[in-house]
Amino acid sequence: MSPQSVRRALLGALFCIALGGLLLHARIHPFLAPDKEHPGSLVFRPSFLAATLLPLLDLVAVTALFLSRRTAAAGYLLNGLIVIFGSVLMAHYSIATLAPKGPALADWFLKSTFPDVAIALGDFLVGKALYESWVREA
């Protein structure tokens, strides 16, 4: 398999993970939601805006930055920052909602955002492999 085809596959995987994250966050945390008091209108929920903007930034900017060897380092850096920021936010959400309930150990893994953090880590590792494919070529 040529380095270019490996890079295209990694870029496709990075895009698909980011698209999945964006769609998942848009479904779970819609920043525009129906207003219960005024049917037919939407209410803006600013606390959910970051949950949509970070995956959108990942989808558009990180993917675009990884298209070129000159900008791959910036893509790697931005991808890492998004993964760190998202992981901290998701872990905080899990701790804030699960800790008062005193759940069992299995609940910390199955009913928390731990699976989402694991997917974000996978996104980072795909970005790392993509960056290293550019570095090896230089």
The pLDDT assigned to 11 comes to 97
- Region 10-37: mean pLDDT is 93
Summary mean pLDDT of the chain? 91
- Region 15-37: mean pLDDT is 92
Smallest CA-to-CA distance from 18 within 83, 104, 73, 76 is with 83
In angstroms, rounded to a whole number, what is the distance separating the alpha carbons of residues 34 and 55? Answer: 22
Task: Please write the tens of the pLDDT for every residue from 51-107.
Answer: 899 999 999 999 999 999 999 999 999 999 999 999 999 898 888 887 777 777 777
In angstroms, rounded to a whole number, what is the distance separating the alpha carbons of residues 130 and 76? Answer: 8
pTM: 0.88
Q: How many CA atoms lie within 13 A of 25 on its CB side?
A: 27
- Asked whether residue 138 carries a pLDDT value surpassing 80, the answer given is no
The pLDDT assigned to 123 comes to 97
The pLDDT assigned to 48 comes to 87
Q: DSSP state, 77?
A: H
The pLDDT assigned to 16 comes to 97
User: Distance between alpha carbon 32 and the CA centroid of its chain, in Å?
Assistant: 19
Cα angle: 89, vertex 53, 44; to 5 degrees: 95
Give SS3 for 71: coil
- Asked whether residue 35 carries a pLDDT value surpassing 90, the answer given is no
